[in-house]
Amino acid sequence: MSEVMDYMISPYPVRIIDPKVESSRLRLKAIRIGQAGHLPGRIWFRSNVVFEHWALVYIISGNGTYMENGGRVQQVRAGSLFFFRPGCSYSFGPAPGGNWDEYYINFNGTRVAEWVESGLLEGGTVFDAHASQELASVFEQVLALMEGGVPADADRAAAMLEGLLLECSLITEDHYRTRQPDILPLIREELNACIYGTPDLWGIAAKYHISMSTLRRLVRRSSGYPLHEYIHRLKMAEAKHLLLNTSLQVKAIAGMLHYADNFYFSRLFKKYMGVSPLICRNSL
């Protein structure tokens, strides 16, 4: 595998692999690994840098700091895992005079949105994955597959990345389970209180000191539904109650539940309740 010297990054040879396969030759169209690398002995600290793609970073040894969007400075040490999100600003790197050993993979594609919704991607927080030879081995395998320029190997690397993200999500879930009280009942109360309004999801996450990814994952883990679907289902259950117990018109009920488009409301109601609002009311 090719190694290069860049004394601004590290006094040791670094490996930085750019895509070697044109995207039209890949079978896994929904996800593609961009640049991947291994930076042993990294000394370079970067300030206020904005990335175009998601990236997963794993620190094998050393220590330093990580900060997203000017927020709190978080400590990074051996075994730390963290993500970069597109469009966010980051200041990160080893402590002055120090270094760390870093693996990273950046990636993009339409499947990323599904991973965000399911909670596989957790931005803005440093997690302790412990210094694991197994994780380092997976990163090494991805780098080796990307190095050859073989389309099938690039697809295999993308499949390995998804498995790696699943493992990372389990690590982050353990992090919140051991460090946070059981906040699920409180989150359910918050969402139930927003049935007649528009929930401030970012505000709810901030109130309980969790990220949006964690909020999505907690709701999905407890209900089986993605966060926005869970909210729609709460509203449709209330709509059914109003249809069966009041004389309010469908349009009025839709407005009360903050659906400006009556036809959209009716489509959602039929999707989740199995019948149209009028049939539901006439079924009495």
138, 104 Cβ separation under 8 angstroms: no
Task: Give the pLDDT mean for 18-33.
Answer: 84
pTM exceeding 0.85: no
Lowest mean pLDDT, pick from 22-31, 121-130, 168-177, 202-211 = 168-177
d(CA 98, CA 217): 36
The structure tokens 């840098």 sit at 49
What DSSP state is assigned to residue 132?
-
CA dihedral 129, 28, 26, 160 (to 10 degrees): 20
d(CA 50, CA 34): 16
Give 56-103 pLDDT, tens digit per residue: 999 999 999 999 999 889 999 999 999 999 999 999 999 999 999 999
pLDDT score for 139 = 94
Which domains occur in the chain, in start order? 15-179 (2.60.120.280), 181-284 (1.10.10.60)
Give 147-171 pLDDT, tens digit per residue: 988 999 999 999 999 888 877 777 7
Give 94-109 pLDDT, tens digit per residue: 999 999 999 999 998 8
66, 90 Cβ separation under 8 angstroms: yes
Tokens of 14: 């670094």
231, 191 Cβ separation under 8 angstroms: yes
The confidence band for 176, taking pLDDT boundaries of 50, 70 and 90, is low
Q: Is 119 helix (H, G, I), strand (E, B) or coil?
A: coil
DSSP characters over 46-58: EEEEE-SSEEEEE
